[in-house]
Amino acid sequence: MTLQIYNSLSRAKETFVPLHPGRVTMYVCGPTVYDDAHLGHGKTYVNFDIVVRYLRYLGYDVLYVQNITDVGHLLDSGQDRMLKGAQREHVHPMQLAEEYTYRYFRDMDRLNVGRPSISPRASGHIPEMIAWVQQLLASGHAYEVNGSVYFDVRSFEGYGKLSGRRTDEAMSGTRVQVLDEKRDAADFALWKRADPEHIMRWPSPWGEGFPGWHIECTVMATKYLGQPFDIHGGGLDNKFPHHECEIAQAEAATGHPFARYWLHNGMLMISGEEMHKSAGNFVTLAQALDEWEPLVIRTFILQGHYRNPLDLTHEALLAAQKGWGRLMDVVRLVRHRLPTAPAGDVSSDLAARLEEARRAFEASMDDDLNSAGALAAMFDLTRDVNTLLNASAPLSQTDLQAIDALYGRLLGDVLGIMPATLEVEAHVGLSDGLIRLLVDTRSSLRQARQWAAADAIRDGLQALGVQLKDGPDGTTWTVQ
């Protein structure tokens, strides 16, 4: 099977075929660095990290661009988020941008989100944005009013093709003064005149001002990836107006299509509610990462489909912790057994089982990057591997190496939920050895027909979560 992805633009699953064989160009809207990243950012960037990792697993050379917004992203009140943050902390906006860019990457590193190939900053691309706005003015797709430049939505027929919308209902809250300047309520700012107190300002052909938010993504995506490029990703909340505006600016100016596949990820909910500072359920990513093992949070995110909303509850995180622990335990046990395992080839049964797991994993990932299905395939495999590890016939070194390699590739490289170094703690080997000792003791007791003592061992182990199973080849066990 080949990779199928849901394209928001066509509203259908499509076979993914990159523009250039073997290469994928991908852009994802990055953070506005005026405050700490929250759990919702964690979901978004883990979701797109999986896209990149899986494409690389499939052998593609992926050029991944994710911008840093450090100017022009306004609040509904019309205030620039960067200036709001700078006032809050009494620092220069660029100092604020530096601090929160650092914190963003620190948090993403902890979540094992790979760094983008290029992280361009909006404030470093003002001349390119001005040139793009000039091109839109020259081609009749924009107009200037009092030092601000607006995109003329009616001049571009394709406006609305991504979202099916043309106007923003939330615009009723927009400042009247701005509405007065626009020819149509749906028109949006490409360049804004700076009021005297506005700190972030650059000279332009229209006087001192600053760029609108949407133009930065169009300009930086096409600068580094060309036009068209393969994949544009972002949160569902950015589909309209942000992504619609990106398309309009790009395609109106050049006449070429912008992005070929649009991917949107669903939002994170907290116990069934949207996360808002005002709702009192706002959790920064750093707080969550201090409270929980980061790779458990990552596993929790991957247990949902990226396009769906994900509801975070304490119980769901506990379940993810248990599942993640089970996966890591089997890898630890395999690595613990490796040095003392007998030599030998991979058994054909094991090779077939590993191949089946790999196929099931890939089939899920090929189906619109269904990480939940991929994880389920690994849980299935883990159950069988545990049975094999606890069977009386020991696995050979080659067997164990084959298991370890598959886990490393799928859980490590693709899903990113395996730590770079997984310490084989002494207690893993100890508990494994103790269970084996008790199982052997029980077998001796049974041979001596001391049923009560043998059953006491079985029941005692069961109370500790160790389930024994007697079979023709001896006793095996599973650990809950």
Residues that bind Zn ion (CB under 5 A): 29, 217
Residue closer to Zn ion by CB (options 34, 300) is 34
Q: Which is nearer to Zn ion, 129 or 461 (CB)?
A: 129
User: Quick one: tokens of 88?
Assistant: 């809050």
Between 118 and 341, name the residue whose CB sits nearer to Zn ion: 118
Give me the amino acid identity at 78: G
> For residue 151, which of 234, 72, 251, 239 has the smallest C-alpha distance?
251
> Coil, strand, or helix at residue 461?
helix
CB of 365 to Zn ion, least distance (A): 26
Identity at 282, one-letter amino acid code: F
> In whole angstroms, what is the distance from residue 303 CA to residue 363 CA?
16
Q: How far apart are CA 134 and CA 221, in angstroms?
A: 18
When the beta carbons of 237 and 329 are compared against Zn ion, the nearer one is: 237
Q: Give the nearest distance from C-beta 250 to Zn ion in angstroms.
A: 11
CA-to-CA dists, residue 129 to 3, 65, 70, 152, 336, angstroms = 35, 17, 14, 17, 56
Whether 250 and 222 have beta carbons less than 8 Å apart is answered as yes
At 26 the three-state DSSP class reads: strand
CB of 101 to Zn ion, least distance (A): 16
Q: How far is CA 451 from CA 69, 434, 442, in A?
A: 71, 20, 9
Least separation in angstroms between residue 458's CB and Zn ion is: 60
Nearest residue to 403 via CA among 354, 449, 337, 461 = 354
Closest approach of Zn ion to the CB of residue 219, in Å: 10
Q: Which residue lies nearer to Zn ion by CB, 29 or 83?
A: 29
Residues 83, 375: Cα–Cα separation, whole Å: 43
User: Cβ closer to Zn ion: 29 or 190?
Assistant: 29
Q: How many CB atoms lie within 10 A of CB 194?
A: 19
Instruction: Tell me the closest approach of the beta carbon of residue 213 to Zn ion, in angstroms.
Output: 8
Which of 452-472 are b and which e, b meaning 16 or more Cβ less than 10 Å from the residue's Cβ?
eebeebbeebeeeebebeeee
CB of 332 to Zn ion, least distance (A): 41
On whether the CB atoms of residues 18 and 382 are closer than 8 A, the answer is no
Between 215 and 270, whose beta carbon lies closer to Zn ion? Answer: 215
Nearer to Zn ion, 228 or 412 (CB): 228
Q: Which of 95, 32, 90 is nearest to 66 (CA)?
A: 32
Distances (CA, A) of 163 to 9, 160, 214, 237, 425: 8, 6, 15, 11, 51
In whole angstroms, how close is the CB of 67 to Zn ion at the nearest point?
7
Min dist. Cβ of residue 246 to Zn ion (A):
6
Nearest residue (CB) to Zn ion, 57 versus 224:
224
Contact (Cβ atoms closer than 8 angstroms) between residue 373 and residue 367: yes
Q: How far apart are CB 218 and Zn ion at their closest, in Å?
A: 8
167 CB-near residues (< 8 Å, 6+ apart): 185, 186
Q: Which residue has the tokens 């029941």?
A: 459
Q: Least CB distance from residue 49 to Zn ion, whole Å?
A: 17
Q: Residue 165 corresponds to which tokens in the numbers above?
A: 């919308």
- Residue 80 vs 362, nearer CB to Zn ion: 80
217 vs 406, beta carbon nearer Zn ion:
217
**Partners of residue 69 on adjacent β-strands:** 32
Q: Which residue has the tokens 């601000």?
A: 148
